[in-house]
Amino acid sequence: MTKAVKTNIIKRNGEEVVFDVSKIVNAIKKANKEVPPIHQMNKYQIQAVADNIANEVRISPHAVHVEDIQDMVETGIMEMRGFEVAQKYVRYRYKRNLARKSNTTDDGILALIDQANEEVKQENSNKNPVINSTQRDYMAGEVSKDLTRRVLLPEEIVNAHEQGIIHFHDSDYYAQKEHNCDLINLEDMLQNGTVISETMIEKPHSFFTACNVTTQIVAQVASNQYGGQSFTLSHLAPFVDISRQKLKKAVIKERTECGESLDEKIIDKVTESRLHEEIKSGIQTIQYQLITLMTCNGQAPFVTIFMYLDEVPEGQTRDDLSSIIREVLLQRMQGVKNEKGVWITPAFPKLIYVLDEDNISEDSKYWDLTVLAAKCTAKRMVPDYISAKKMKEYKNGDVYPCMGCRSFLTPDTVGLDPDHKHKYYGRFNQGVVTINLVDVACSSDGDIDRFWNILEERLELCHRALRCRHERLLGTVSDVAPILWQHGALARLKKGEVIDKLLFGNYSTISLGYAGLYEMCYRMTGKSHTDPEAKEFALSVMQKLNDKCGEWRAAENISYSVYGTPMESTTYKFAKCLQKRFGIIPGVTDKNYITNSYHVHVTEKIDAFTKLKFESDFQKLSPGGAISYVEVPNMQNNIPAVLSVMKFIYDNIMYAELNTKSDFCLQCGYDGEIEITENNNGKLIWKCPNCGNTNQDMMFVARRTCGYIGTQFWNQGRTQEIKDRVLHL
């Protein structure tokens, strides 16, 4: 008899289970009984088929899908000349497929509830799949994916998505008319009032109240979309002086009633002391509420806070903004306490600090803020950095935040604001479809002419898929999300009014994502794109993507843009699909992940400055969004080195981050780096180097995987990518 094979297979519901060869034997025996004795296979033939399949599964470099195993069974029976048996097996399989198609969601949902669906469990490293609210969202997502696959999308797009040729993002929200990510127009909502849950919220009369209202707005917005959102601290800055004047009146009144001196210096000193406490309380409210709030998606809001001094006028307001930024950095550097009372790194909100002339050198006015930002990055992995200098070059002289972790709006060249000023807050992204560039290269078999022809075909396929996203939003009535479309977050449309005008004319973007530029180059040239010859080819592909977006934009007045896809979980899916379609190609498909966007491969030895300079050429050709990073060791005792990287970012690249580690073992109290190792079955697991703890529930691990910090662990592909990363500094 065949020995047990310690290899996992993937069931239809996404669950990974240990391969059981006896199930193959039993399935063939059932089909065998259905044919006359003269046409039956003998027990040795049946066992031979099972043994051959067991061997194929054993030597496979990845977990084999159950559908592939059934294909092997059919082939194996035919090779034994059991034609009649094969016919019975095929008929039984066909009937089972029909039964499954009548309701494709049951198994997936049940596996989800039982926490057995590995694909969904680790799809998002910031969603805990055990929690009821998260499971409700995932259950709704399974229904949406089923409707999307069977009813809403053309078959060619569904097939391309399932084969990993393209990725149609967020199909779990596609059935509903929801958009991806946005920049909240917090200024409009705070200054002119808004409505939350049918309750009028008027202009706040203090900084603390403005902070409180902001967190409510963020939670409401997160519950009505599926992507990230950003707001800027500059929209809160005017409320500092409102509080200052209010506090000053109170101080004067108190001192008058007590018969104390009304000396202006004393009054101002007391006022500023109380104001500092209010700023501290307001920022604490934002930090703790955004971390502890849970939206209807079963997660904390995916929110980014933008810190740009020059977004407000020079003088008191800018100084007030610097005080807010300072408090945000101080509180984030401290972290938050976990259930054990240990200070840890929170995943949200993500912070972005803008480097500009007034904070980039030792003699600049706000240099102390930049030093504080460097210390915060060294300890907590945020903030990330935008160079105002480079962004102005790329974005028509404007500086503005990304929507969430990396998606950028196209520059406003006409003045979308009613006063014809450049407008960014209140704009949004319609959705993303990503092309697998590695599949294009592998499908061409390295032939350059075939490559360009296939790329043209695949881009048109992406275009049709993006049109589906756009057309799904057409006709959406503003009533579906009043906070977004009626009460200022994105617009102030009337009840019953459709959002269509916001989907054209550059008000919103729609993203052509791409992945695997490195592996594509390696397949076509045999070299990394860091090689000068391969770099030229890589840049020409990037230019092709931009040219196609420009062509579609000109024809349709829809703002298509090239986007460096984060690929948090899709990297694993694409890698598995490539291995299935093309086998193992060294340097191309031999890992369980493919490289994010244009990034230098994680295993390639390159220093931080060379990496950032190299990637800047590619980031410029990702106008719809991208971020570069450098992997660094613990830098808390080397802040000058962090500052040197920040200065380099300012001069050379628009948007970048420093990745370090921030881990904690709940079992022994170890606060160094939790390591990745293999267990006896070859699965990658996390292990405390101090006490040997491998229970994920008893450790806290924070890693940057997609622009945001992830804290709920990752699938095997992304875990391998994290393990393979080399330091750049």
**Residue 57 · residue 17 · CB < 8 Å:** no
Rounded to whole angstroms, how far apart are CA atoms 729 and 220? 41
| Residue 556 a catalytic site member | no
Q: What is the DSSP letter of 397?
A: T
pTM (2 d.p.): 0.85
Note the pLDDT tens digit of each residue in 90-137. 887 877 766 555 555 666 666 655 655 555 554 554 555 666 666 777
**Residue 566 · residue 513 · CB < 8 Å:** no
Residue 664 structure tokens: 């904690």
Rounded to whole angstroms, how far apart are CA atoms 702 and 660? 9
> b or e along 418-451 (b: 16 or more beta carbons within 10 Å of the residue's beta carbon)?
eeeebbbbbbbbbbbbbbbbbbbbbbbeeeeeeb
As a whole number of Å, the CA-based R_g of the chain is: 28
Residue 36 structure tokens: 């006359």
| Residue 442 a catalytic site member | no
Instruction: Give the strands of the sheet with 16-18, arranged side by side.
Output: 16-18, 8-10, 64-65
| Residue 405 a catalytic site member | yes
**Residue 556 · residue 544 · CB < 8 Å:** no
Rounded to whole angstroms, how far apart are CA atoms 427 and 563? 17
CA distances from 294 to 37, 126, 181, 196, 225 (A): 63, 12, 18, 16, 14
| Residue 314 a catalytic site member | no
**Residue 182 · residue 625 · CB < 8 Å:** no
Rounded to whole angstroms, how far apart are CA atoms 443 and 450? 8
pLDDT score recorded for residue 3: 41
Rounded to whole angstroms, how far apart are CA atoms 23 and 27? 6
| Residue 407 a catalytic site member | yes
Q: Which residues pair with residue 477 across a beta bridge?
A: 498
CA distances from 424 to 51, 280, 476 (A): 62, 28, 22
Could you tell me which residues come within 8 angstroms of residue 17 by beta carbon, excluding any fewer than 6 positions away? 8, 9, 11
| Residue 533 a catalytic site member | no
Comparing C-alpha atoms, which of 517, 553, 538 is closest to residue 410?
553
Rounded to whole angstroms, how far apart are CA atoms 126 and 604? 28
Strands (E), 326-377: 336-337, 343-344, 350-355
Catalytic residue from among 227, 298, 707, 717: 707
- Judged on CB neighbours under 10 Å (0-12, 13-18, 19+), 654 is buried
**Residue 439 · residue 164 · CB < 8 Å:** yes
**Residue 678 · residue 668 · CB < 8 Å:** no
pLDDT score recorded for residue 61: 67
| Residue 429 a catalytic site member | yes
Rounded to whole angstroms, how far apart are CA atoms 454 and 299? 39
CA distances from 480 to 114, 294, 295, 431, 493 (A): 32, 20, 17, 18, 12
| Residue 296 a catalytic site member | no
Give one DSSP letter per residue of 602-654, joined into a string: TTS---HHHHHHHHHHHHTT-TTB--EEEE----TT-HHHHHHHHHHHHHH-S
Catalytic residue from among 13, 180, 359, 715: 180
Comparing C-alpha atoms, which of 175, 319, 336 is closest to residue 237?
319
| Residue 563 a catalytic site member | yes
Give one DSSP letter per residue of 1-46, joined into a string: -PPPP--EEE-TTS-EEE--HHHHHHHHHHHHHTS-GGGPPPHHHH
Q: Which amino acid is at 724?
A: D
Angle of helix 264-292 versus helix 316-334 axis, rounded to 10: 50
Site of tokens 């599964």: 57
Catalytic residue from among 518, 563, 572, 655: 563
Peptide bond into 383 cis (omega under 30): yes
Angle of helix 608-619 versus helix 639-652 axis, rounded to 10: 30
**H/E stretch holding 442:** helix 437-443
pLDDT score recorded for residue 93: 82
The list of the chain residues with pLDDT below 50 reads 1-5, 122, 125
CA pseudo-torsion sign 289, 292, 297, 302: positive
**Residue 715 · residue 703 · CB < 8 Å:** no
Rounded to whole angstroms, how far apart are CA atoms 672 and 662? 7
Rounded to whole angstroms, how far apart are CA atoms 521 and 451? 11
Peptide bond into 349 cis (omega under 30): yes
All domains of the chain, ordered by start, with CATH?
Answer: 8-102 (no CATH), 182-394 (3.20.70.20)
pLDDT score recorded for residue 245: 98
Cα angle 89-90-95, degrees, rounded to a multiple of 5: 100
Rounded to whole angstroms, how far apart are CA atoms 240 and 326? 14
pLDDT score recorded for residue 663: 86
**Residue 210 · residue 190 · CB < 8 Å:** yes
Catalytic residue from among 144, 224, 297, 429: 429
675 CA to centre of own chain: 23
Rounded to whole angstroms, how far apart are CA atoms 325 and 332? 11
Catalytic residue from among 405, 520, 521, 549: 405
Note the pLDDT tens digit of each residue in 541-574. 999 999 999 999 999 999 999 999 988 778 889 9
Give one DSSP letter per residue of 458-510, joined into a string: HHHHHHHHHHHHHHHHTT-BGGG-HHHHTSSSS--PPTT-BSGGGGSTTSEEE
Residue 340 CB coordination number (10 Å): 10
Residue 547 structure tokens: 């040219």
Comparing C-alpha atoms, which of 603, 641, 605, 610 is closest to residue 628?
610
Site of tokens 């019975």: 88
